[in-house]
Amino acid sequence: MPEVRAFIPNYQLTTPASLADALALLKNEPGVWKPFAGGTDLMVLLEAGRLPHRNYINIWGLDELRGVEANDTHVTLGALTTYTDVQSNPILQSEFPMLCQAASETGGLAIQNRGTLGGNIINASPAADSPPALLAYNAEIELVSSGGSRWLPYHGFHTAYKQMGLGADELLSRIRLPRNTEGATHYYRKVGTRKAQAISKICLAALGRMSDGQMSDTRIALGSVAPIVVRCVQTENALRGQQPHAKTIAAACDTLSREISPIDDIRSTADYRLQVSKNLLADFLMQLH
Amino acid sequence: MNADDTDQIRVICVHLRQKFSMQIEFKVNNKVHQLDVFPMTRLLDVLREQLELTGTKEGCGEGECGACTVVLDGRIVNSCLVPVAQVNGAEITTIEGVAHNDQLHAVQQAFIQHGGAQCGICTPGMVLAAVDLLKRNPQPTENDIRNGLAGNLCRCTGYMKIFESVVRACQK
Amino acid sequence: MDHPIGKSFPRKEGRKKVTGAALYVDDLSFPDMIHGVTVRSPAARGKIKNISFEGDLPWDEFTIVTAKDIPGANYVALILNDQPYLAADFVNHPEEPVVLLAHKDKYLLEEARRNVAIEIEEQPAVFTLADSLAKKEIIWGNDNVFKKFLVDKGNVDEAWSNADFIVEGEYETGAQEQLYIENNGAIAIANSSDGVTVWGSMQCPYYVHKALVKLFGLPEEKIRIIQTETGGGFGGKEEYPSLIAGHAALLAWKSGKPVKIIYDRAEDMVATTKRHPSRTRHKTAVTKDGKLLAMEIDFAIDGGAYCTLSPVVLSRGTIHAAGPYTCPNVRIHSQAVATNVPPHGAFRGFGAPQSIFALERHMDKVAQTVGLTPEEFRRRNFIHEGETTATSQVIRERVDMDHLLTRTLQLSEYHAKREQFSKENSATSGRFAKKRGIGFATFMHGAGFTGSGEVFLQSVVSAEATAEGKVKILAASTEIGQGTNTIFSQIAAETLGLDFDSIEIVQPDTGRVPNSGPTVASRTSMVVGKLVESAVTGLKQTLIGSGLLPAQYSEADFKKACAEYVAKFGSLKTSSTYQPPPNVHWDDEKYQGDAYGAYAWAVYVAEVSFDELTYEARVENFVAMQEVGRVLNPVLAAGQIEGGVAQAIGFTLFENVVWKDGRMANNQMTNYIIPTPADIPPIRVYFEENPYAYGPGGAKGIGELPMDGAAPAILNAIENATGVSFNNIPLMPERLMAADERG
């Protein structure tokens, strides 16, 4: 059947007065409702006739889900933090530059003003730009329901392509980053189809810290090379306590190639994604000393 | 709502199990409007069809080209990606609201003078994006301009004269 | 009044465009108007077995049109008339139009489109140029061939034995989507008593007119085509509008209401025309001194499922295939063949970007083989005044490619950079580096229709002076962003000594303006502009001849004379019909002679970087130099070059049509990549002038020229940067990966 525009009159977008009301709706009518934030992903699907789900809760106006707060140990961002909000926050700029870089490379300004971190996480595209940075920064996420709330590590939240550990009555409400990036090397590189407004072919977010000439804390996250964004734990293990010289780097690249599973698709090839992932890893490691 | 619209909705009702139109109120170019809309209708379509403000254009329907750019509560957005339910109570500026009483904005004047517009279809979005850029950064470098306008595609100009037009507009 | 020609007058319709007041077809609405959509074939080739209307929909409310409803002839009148408006029994490409639907509710209409099932009994299809040439399946005519040409100069066969070197090469270019930011659209009102009127986004109102005359079987005066403000064309709206206009008109005819059809981006990309993919094979005989002895060129293009404009694209590509060089023996075999993909069509350059890509890549290869620099090799072979082209056209103007090359290489710091890059590229640091390179292309582009084409067109422009002393220009040439309205106004103002603002350009409407030919082939300024000049000259001569205007007059005198003339005689209108320049002779049988009245000459230099980390090639700087006769409006002219170069950069490094079973799989702007502002390098444009006697103010055509030179210049630069030769475009990082030794 041809993919043509959706039948707009069939869609519901209801605006709850508060977060509590939104959560009540999710609890009382399980499976019926999905959240709708900035719409930068959902509206594209709607217009292409590829949005089968019809009933949405408009959470865009819920201030409880906005705001960036910091204490000594963490920075906490509301799920509705936009990419523009991210880039304009001085603490994020100085301590979490990869997140700011990812935000600046997500679409153009008009998208950045509307796209949200929460939407990005829940949309769960393996090509998303911010999730690799969140993984490398050991982000945690808070899920709320009318029954309460829980924090969990973002790493492990995505279980398979577009599958995640989110209950039917839960909403993502906050993202928390531990403030322990001082002295680290941050390396973020998104390789897309063009310099701006591009879906990534490969996206690497890596963090490295040295101690006595050895790699003490290396975090490697990649997008667009697997059905979900991945934290490359085996590669990190292979690097721990090593010095970043040529042999180690080659071995790490080898481990990496077994830890990711890039594919051929409409934008790129498995071979290209694999090779460039290895190049980016090597480039990152060469910057550590 | 006129008789035509009632007929339209009647037609739809006959064939639908659910009907979700709602009332919203919002400001466009400083004028308040009250409308009956389906909540998922694109803001772009509401502006063009119900308000007959056809200056905002559709180029792609996917938020890639920026031809549908409008200002929503002070920030530029792609109106093809905004469901109208979300603009209840909001303030919007479209290209029709950029000039003041026949007095063109410096960006508009520069586009005419320096070749920033060729076929003109990307121009409304491009002008709004440029006006927004200059509001945030009154003396942008060429790099700032390249990045600031990166969400607006043009197929005619190769961008060079758009950059020049923005630079000249700053000089005014 | 100062002479307007040569000055950067601001765009005539600029104010409307920057305020959102310009009205494109989707901005228009008519009372009682309903919407139309096209239901298309799901398969590439086969028999239509059944069409069913499913779902729980009020089908009786819909206007439904199939081939059976066509009042006249079911073909799009163009060249071979093989393309149906609606497939009747058989489909030849995916997305071929089969059924049209109309309804008042545009959302319900989409629901209906989803629920029309077209059942096709599939037959084997051919999807590539190679398969079609190999005749794996005959899918069109007897041999899949729409058209063939043979250019034969001198005696190529005897030249091989005298060659010190024989160099061969094969070069390919892919399809390219025009991607005008305004999608195709049309609104029609049609009934048997009043006739048919169509408003639409288009380049050629009279092409649409001709097609609808046949579609409806109505007399010419019953069909009226009006061009609305058009958001880009680039050739993509040369012939395609005939199809969408006809569809809107058929629905209007059957429903009795105005019908609007507007494509969305996905439909426009998947269903409308694209640039013809090409394959060129070169075999070149050259002496050890680097003199060209013979060129044998095999040029093939993929026309898609129906002929459309393939013969003309083939023609231009063929004639440009041997370039701005002197070569005594040239043989060019060319053919346009059919495949089961949506028909390809016009796109700026129209065959020349394809054959010039191959040529300029090959010239660098020949240079390398002989042991000469790319520059020295060109210098030894450039054509000069008095020498002949591949079609044996004697160049009758001063042409100095040597000088253009020297100047361009200087402006781009070519030699210094080449040396600098060579040093830097060989320094190894153990880290991923950016290699840099610089390359150029030298080329020419013929403006106007080939050979006797302009004579055949018999273009006419009219001019009318009003009682208020305003001058109206009536021509079918459309403003599509390139500056038609402004240029015509400047020409008329200059010719009459009037204010730019005293000239009015009448909206192209076949009910009001004469046929000045299509807005294509870089002819609007050069050919039609000249007719504007002569038409308004006629106004002046009439007024002077009537004694109402002195030979030397002011604007006030002119206004007064017009008022008096109109009061006395009712109206003042003149027409001018195309006259070919003298001594232009073309032999269509032998494909020999004066192919074009004028050529623009150019040298383009591209500076690139190649990133070893990601295998991305990027154009860092670009210099575009061209001799164009006369620059009528510097800002508009530079705008044409910059825009064309940007499209050509897209053609080379970004724009890849991904085909799946004959259908464009990446038919979204998200996945079909054109350059953004962040991707385009600084483009420096330079002009030289050498007035062409038969162009207004001395102008030659320039619209398509900038499409020709960037691709080979960029690939020459990439070879300079990496040492690896690439010969197919688009050249994506995935393939560039092969260039890197690490990879």
pLDDT score of C443 more than 60: yes
**Closest-CA residue of chain B to C648:** B158
What is the three-class DSSP state of C460? strand
Whether omega for the bond prior to residue C730 falls within 30 degrees of 0, making it cis, is yes
pTM, 2 dp: 0.97
Which CA distances in Å does C659 have to C175, C176, C270?
10, 12, 10
- What DSSP designation does C340 have? S
Write the pLDDT tens digit of every residue in C372-431.
999 999 999 999 999 999 999 999 999 999 999 999 999 999 999 999 999 999 997 888
Determine the Cα–Cα distance for residues C249 and C226; give it in Å rounded to an integer: 13
Contacts of C644 in chain B (CB under 8 A): 158
Strand ranges of the sheet holding C471-474, from the earlier edge strand across to the other edge = C503-505, C471-474, C460-465, C572-577
Determine contact: C481 vs chain B, CB below 8 A.
Answer: yes
User: Does A111 sit within 8 Å of B78, measured CB to CB?
Assistant: yes
Q: Which residues of C376-412 are buried (b: 16+ CB within 10 A; e: fewer)?
A: ebbbbbbbeeeebbbbbbebeeebbbeebbebbbeeb
Q: Which residues of B132-157 are buried (b: 16+ CB within 10 A; e: fewer)?
A: bbbeeeeebeeeebbbbbbbbbbbbb
How many residues make up chain C in this entry?
743
Residues of A contacting chain C (CB within 8 angstroms): 1-9, 44, 47-49, 108, 191, 193-199, 266-269, 271-272, 275-276, 279-280, 282-283, 286
Contacts of C286 (CB under 8 A, 6+ apart): C163, C164, C165, C166, C167, C292, C293, C366, C369, C370
pLDDT score of B66 more than 90: yes
Residue type present at position C712:
P
Which CA distances in Å does C612 have to A266, A276, A277?
23, 9, 13
pLDDT score of B11 more than 60: no
Total Cβ atoms within 10 A of residue C725: 15
Q: Residue C181: pLDDT band by 50, 70, 90 thresholds?
A: very high
Which CA distances in Å does A14 have to A21, B21, C158, C168, C464?
11, 11, 81, 67, 60
| Residue ranges in B52-114 assigned as alpha helix (H) | 106-114
- The confidence score (pLDDT) of residue A181 equals 96
For residue A251, what are its two tokens? 């071995």
Q: Residue A289: pLDDT band by 50, 70, 90 thresholds?
A: confident
Cβ–Cβ < 8 Å for C713, C605? yes
Determine contact: C428 vs chain A, CB below 8 A.
Answer: no
User: What ipTM does this complex have?
Assistant: 0.96
Determine the Cα–Cα distance for residues C715 and B60; give it in Å rounded to an integer: 31
Cβ–Cβ < 8 Å for C475, C532? yes
Determine the Cα–Cα distance for residues C156 and C663; give it in Å rounded to an integer: 40
Helix count and strand count (H, E) for chain B: 6, 5
Determine the Cα–Cα distance for residues C607 and C319; give it in Å rounded to an integer: 28
Determine contact: C695 vs chain B, CB below 8 A.
Answer: no
Determine contact: B132 vs chain A, CB below 8 A.
Answer: yes
User: How far apart are the CA of A198 and the nearest CA of chain C, in angstroms?
Assistant: 7
Determine the Cα–Cα distance for residues C197 and C187; give it in Å rounded to an integer: 8
Determine contact: B155 vs chain C, CB below 8 A.
Answer: yes
Write the pLDDT tens digit of every residue in A172-218.
999 999 999 999 999 999 999 999 989 999 999 999 999 999 999 99
Q: Which of A5, A280, A286 sits opposite C431 (nearest CB)?
A: A286
- What DSSP designation does C55 have? S
Contacts of C243 (CB under 8 A, 6+ apart): C76, C83, C85, C97, C211
Q: Which of B83, B129, B150 sits opposite A39 (nearest CB)?
A: B83
Q: Which residues of C474-497 are buried (b: 16+ CB within 10 A; e: fewer)?
A: bbbbbbbbbbbbbbbbbbbbbbbb
Question: Which chains contact A through at least 3 pairs of Cβ atoms less than 8 Å apart?
Answer: B, C
Considering Cα of A132, then A134, then A137, then A139, what sign does the dihedral take? negative
Write the pLDDT tens digit of every residue in C16-39.
999 999 999 999 999 999 999 999
Write the pLDDT tens digit of every residue in C690-730.
999 999 999 999 999 999 999 999 999 999 999 999 999 99
Write the pLDDT tens digit of every residue in C515-570.
999 999 999 999 999 999 999 999 999 999 999 999 999 999 999 999 999 999 99
* Residue pointed to by tokens 């969408």: C244
Burial of residue A148, with CB atoms counted within 10 A of its CB: 0-12 exposed, 13-18 middle, 19 or more buried: exposed
User: Does B61 sit within 8 Å of A46, measured CB to CB?
Assistant: no
User: Does B80 sit within 8 Å of A12, measured CB to CB?
Assistant: no
Determine contact: B129 vs chain C, CB below 8 A.
Answer: no
Determine the Cα–Cα distance for residues C378 and C284; give it in Å rounded to an integer: 14
pLDDT score of B19 more than 80: no
C8: region left, alpha or beta (phi > 0 left; psi from -120 to 50 alpha) = beta
Contacts of C638 in chain B (CB under 8 A): 115, 160-161
Determine contact: B135 vs chain C, CB below 8 A.
Answer: no
For residue C214, what are its two tokens? 């046949």
Write the pLDDT tens digit of every residue in C134-151.
999 999 999 999 999 999
Write the pLDDT tens digit of every residue in C570-603.
999 999 999 999 988 999 999 999 999 999 999 9
Segment B85-99 shows an average pLDDT of: 98
For residue C289, what are its two tokens? 């001194």
- The confidence score (pLDDT) of residue C741 equals 55
- The confidence score (pLDDT) of residue A2 equals 52
Which CA distances in Å does A71 have to A133, A136, A176, B119, C475?
20, 20, 11, 52, 71
Pairing of strands C728-729, C46-53: unpaired
For residue C494, what are its two tokens? 């200059």
Beta bridge partners of C619: C608
Determine the Cα–Cα distance for residues A239 and B120; give it in Å rounded to an integer: 55
Cβ–Cβ < 8 Å for C397, C389? no
Cβ–Cβ < 8 Å for C231, B155? no
Contacts of A28 (CB under 8 A, 6+ apart): none
Write the pLDDT tens digit of every residue in A209-231.
999 999 999 999 999 999 999 99
User: Does B129 sit within 8 Å of A13, measured CB to CB?
Assistant: no
Determine the Cα–Cα distance for residues C377 and C393; give it in Å rounded to an integer: 22
Cβ-based contacts under 8 A for chains A and C: 85
Contacts of A94 (CB under 8 A, 6+ apart): none
Question: What's the mean pLDDT when you consider all of chain C?
Answer: 97
pLDDT score of B4 more than 60: no
Write the pLDDT tens digit of every residue in C448-474.
999 889 999 999 999 999 999 999 999
- The confidence score (pLDDT) of residue B14 equals 46
C480: region left, alpha or beta (phi > 0 left; psi from -120 to 50 alpha) = alpha
